[in-house]
Amino acid sequence: MKKAERIARLFLFGLLLGLPAALIASRWYSQQISPGRFVEIHGRMPENGGWMPDEITARAGEPLHIRLTSDDVLHGFAIGQSDWPEVEVKPGQVSETTLTFAHPGTYTFYCTRWCGPNHWRMRGTIEVTGEGAAQVQSDQPLYLTLGIDIDAPHPAEIVPNRTPSAKRGAALGIEVPAGFREKGYIRRHSPVEFWRLLREAPFTLGLSDEQVWDLVAYAWISGTTPGATEQGRQLYAQNCAACHGEQGQGDGVLAPAPSSELHMEADHGLKSPPDFTDSASMLGASPALLQGKIVRGGMGTGMPYWGPILTEEQTWALVDYLWSFQFDR
Amino acid sequence: MKGSSHHRSRKFLLAWVLIGAAALLIAFAPFPNLHRSPSDRFFRVEAGNFAYTPANLMVNPGDRVTIELVSTDVVHGMYIDGYDLDVQADPGQPQRLTFIADRAGMFRFRCSVTCGALHPFMIGKLHVGQNTLLWRGMGLAVLLGFAGIWMVRQDRNTINP
């Protein structure tokens, strides 16, 4: 009797100590075979909460294992300003991905598939702590350095009567001084400013106003590369065309239609996207101003804040592409 | 009396053979080939609000069909049963699907991306060729009607000669 009681006590004691010990050991073991943090993220339409959780912490240099699933519709997961491939997040399925951040800093993750009308609001952050140099910070956007007010209207007082063509501009055989064809110059000035400058320059004396516009187009297009324009075209299709329209006319499928309820509430800050084919507003804008609008977003519209998502190179590629709505190659 | 009955049953048998032959003809006769030579067909299908517009696509067998799927709200897809074709389109990025409609019949297409609460009901139809089943069924129903009328008249004749 006494012996059986002792065995029972021993068994109970072993159970009480052994279970937690086994748990700790198994955790330690799983850390040994795949070190790092484990996070499970659920995707939901932004109206229902967006990413859950939307704030994640990680250590620099340590792998972060993410298990992704969706609670409603198809989503996509990607980290802004990075080359990590995007992951599809499907309801009823778990997608796994492992990220390792080399530098501490704040990273933004976002939804890459149009999951609902507020799709672009679906974002979250990963706070990466640790020693070492911080995430490579891109320079301050050019519009801030130049002090451009990107909310102010930018009408073009002079517009061409036909679409300026870079080809015709090149055929004029006039050598525009190299300083004016540099990115550094072009990005800071609007086409109208450049046109005025060229109009007053002695080497355009014999040219018509339209020919000067062709020259502007030539200088503008020669500042871009076909590769960057193609990259811009793809980025535009993926991120912008849904609202701004495939042809840049501000008539995308998700843009508030003039008769829609959204438009009725225009006083509350919703405006239709601008028409990129409209020279009267486009030619008064400098590339720096357009880039500022992309980076900061807002403007009292539903324009997203692309700063943490797109790299500086990508924003310039987009701006390069926008000029193709104004100038022929 | 006996001769008349014999005569009647022969007439009866002949009528049934005729009806049976007509039924077989309606059910299995090759359908007249009305359509012209295969052509290129283009459809712009808007997907939005859990529906396809247009939801019924009619083509002729052998046609080269191009479907441009345009999403007007969220990401939608189109999977065509029987042809095992799939395409997905995000808003602002129309996607195209080109195939030869080499299988005749009616095929459903449905959304292949979980797009929201009513996603399972987002379906449409692709009609390749005429709906012969419908025409044949109608023909058989009409034939059945005539046969019924004839039988009733026969019965009446036997009851009140």
Q: For residues A50 and A113, what is the distance between their CA atoms, to the nearest angstrom?
A: 13
- Provide the pLDDT for residue B101: 92
pLDDT digits (tens, 9 = 90+) for A79-100: 998 888 899 999 999 999 999 9
User: What ipTM describes this predicted complex?
Assistant: 0.75
CA distance to partner chain B, nearest, from residue A102 (Å):
33
Tokens linked to A264:
């009725």
Alpha-carbon distances of B3 from A243, A257, B6, B132, B152, rounded to whole Å = 88, 85, 5, 45, 23
CA-based nearest distance A271→chain B, Å: 18
Among A12-26, A239-253, B1-15, B88-102, which is the least confidently predicted range? B1-15
Q: First-to-last CA distance in chain B?
A: 12
Whether B73 sits inside 8 A of A113 (CB atoms) is no
The residue of B50, B73, B88, B95 whose CB has the most chain A CBs within 10 angstroms, and thus the best one to mutate to test that interface, is B73
Q: What is the pLDDT of residue A259?
A: 53
**pLDDT more than 70, % of chain A:** 94
**More confident site: B60 or A263:** B60
Average pLDDT, chain A: 86
Q: What is the pLDDT of residues A133-150, one digit of tens each?
A: 776 666 788 888 888 888
Q: Give the residue from B106, B108, B50, B51 showing the smallest Cα distance to B79.
A: B108
Distance (Å) from the alpha carbon of A308 to chain B's nearest alpha carbon: 22
**Confidence check: pLDDT of B155 > 80:** no
Q: Inter-chain contact B90–A254, Cβ cutoff 8 Å?
A: no
Residues A304-314 pLDDT 10s: 899 889 988 99
Q: Is the pLDDT of residue A300 over 70?
A: yes
Asked if B114's CB is within 8 angstroms of A72's CB, the reply is yes
**Predicted pLDDT of residue A263:** 47
On whether the CB atoms of residues A254 and A261 are closer than 8 A, the answer is: no
The pTM is what? 0.79
Rounded average pLDDT over A178-189: 82
Interface residues of A toward B, Cβ cutoff 8 Å, are 70, 72-74, 90-91, 113-117, 119, 237-238, 240-243, 245-246, 252-254
Residues of B in contact with A253 (CB under 8 A): 48, 70-73, 91-92
Give the list of residues 6+ apart from residue A44 with CB closer than 8 angstroms, or none.
Answer: A50, A51, A52, A70, A71, A72
Residue with tokens 């956007």: A141
